[in-house]
Amino acid sequence: MKSILSSIALFLAGIGLALAAVNINTASVAELDAVKGIGPSKAKAIVEHRDKNGPFKSVDDLKEVKGFGDKSLDKLRSELSVGDAAAAAKKK
C-alpha cells in the first residue's frame, strides 16, 4: 500500500513540474529548448540576451530577442515566467 501511495505522490509531483512555467531569467538553453515553440537557436538567443542585458522584467521583454513577436509570445506566455527578476539580478 505504501508503494502505491508513493507512486501516486511521485506521479502528481511530476505533473506539477511539467505544468510549471519556465523562468526565462534562470533557465538554461536546454530548459528553454524543451518548451514547445522555442527551438535551440531561440533558446540560445534568450540566454545571450539575458547575459548581455540583465534579467527580463516581463515575458513581453522577449520581443527584444530576435525571432519573438506578439503572436509567438501569445502562444508561449502561459509556459514562461520571469520569476523574481530582482533575485536573478543579484545572482550575477
User: Using only C-alpha atoms, what is the Rg of the chain?
Assistant: 16
Residue bearing cell 530582482 = 86
Q: Which residue range forms the structural domain that includes residue 52?
A: 21-91
Decide if 59 is inside a domain.
yes
Decide if 44 is inside a domain.
yes
Decide if 13 is inside a domain.
no
Q: What is the CATH number of the domain that holds 69?
A: 1.10.150.280
Decide if 56 is inside a domain.
yes
Decide if 9 is inside a domain.
no
Decide if 7 is inside a domain.
no
Decide if 33 is inside a domain.
yes
Decide if 3 is inside a domain.
no
Domain total for the chain?
A: 1
Q: Is 69 exposed, middle or buried, given 0-12, 13-18 or 19+ CB atoms closer than 10 A?
A: exposed
pLDDT in tens, the chain (92 residues): 767 766 565 555 444 444 579 999 999 999 999 999 999 999 999 999 999 999 999 999 999 999 899 999 999 999 999 987 544 454 54
Q: What is the pTM for the complete model shown? A: 0.70
pLDDT of residue 92: 47
